[in-house]
Structure 1
Amino acid sequence: MNKAGEIRVITLGLIRDGERIFLSEGYDPVKQETFYRALGGGVEFGETSRAALEREFQEEIQADLTNIKYLGCIENLFTFSGRQGHEIIQLYQCDFADSKFYQLESLVFSESQTHKHRALWIDISRLKSGELRLVPEVFFEYL
């Protein structure tokens, strides 16, 4: 989590397989709400957003990416766990290099010692219908 008043630069990868998309599941304890977002993470000083994307997928789920294509930049203002957040998102479309990831229902990964997350394939129709919450909502423009 970033410090108060800090704008965080992150990179996220949209991985689509037909009518489903690979997302990580999050939970906001204050809003008591589950949400879904693309996988990725922070861009470190001196690192390109594309290199950060590849590093994050390696660190989090030991996955190599291929067909990486830059989609655009999104500014995201949000509230999470009762705190204001501000992100600049460098968004990429990509594919898994290893086809085994397309066979998985879901997987659990650790962002840190304390935070475990689940990543899973979700039918885009469930997000578009509002049954499941996609964040940030501007992602719908890229689906």
Structure 2
Amino acid sequence: MGKKRDIRVIALGLIRDDERIFVSEGYDPVKQSTFYRALGGGVDFGETSLEALKREFQEEIQADLTNIHYLGCIENIFTYDGQPGHEIIQLYQCDFADSRFYQLESLVFSEGENHQHTALWIDISRFKSGELTLVPQEFFNYL
């Protein structure tokens, strides 16, 4: 028997400003490829996905959210850094409460000790054209 793998439940926030969305940049060292994903993170035991969404945005970029609407659930089975992963994504549409976030070029934030991430606004057309990679693929159904 291999190591028991868990399914992660995560809450992600789709923040859109006209034809651009706010995403964080990731890198897969095995595939040597850069990808982008909406911000958010894991739902803790005893916490609703909505609470997790708000907490993650606070922890990661000190942002309050407003106009939050539940969009749907995406099941994401993937490989990252050579390891299989499985996520149940609770996806929300939301806006930044503070308009200053809409002026940002980019933002560097930490996730844990050694994880530096960059969050930035990217034109949806760059994902639709295939120039940049947005994950998971099902995300396009909500754009």
The TM-score with structure 2 as length reference comes to 0.97
- 1:129 maps to amino acid: S
Q: Runs of 5+ in structure 2 lacking a partner? A: none
Q: Note the aligned Cα RMSD (angstroms).
A: 0.8
Report the counterpart of residue 8 of structure 2 in structure 1. Answer: 8
Instruction: Report 1:45-60 matches (<5 A).
Output: 45-60=45-60
SS at match of 2:113: coil
Report the counterpart of residue 132 of structure 1 in structure 2. Answer: 132
Instruction: Report 1:98-113 matches (<5 A).
Output: 98-113=98-113
Report the counterpart of residue 34 of structure 1 in structure 2. Answer: 34
Question: Residues 84 and 4 (structure 1 numbering): CA distance in 2 closer, same or farther, change over 3 Å?
Answer: farther
The offset of 1:4, in angstroms, is: 5.0
Is 1:80 equivalent to 2:83 in the alignment?
Answer: no
- 1:74 maps to amino acid: I
Q: Runs of 5+ in structure 1 lacking a partner? A: none
- 2:110 maps to amino acid: S
The TM-score with structure 1 as length reference comes to 0.97
Q: Percent identity?
A: 80
1:11-69 Cα offsets, whole Å, 9 max, x none, are 00000000000000000000000000000000000000000000000000000000000
State the distance in 1 between where 2:75 and 2:137 align: 11
SS at match of 1:139: helix
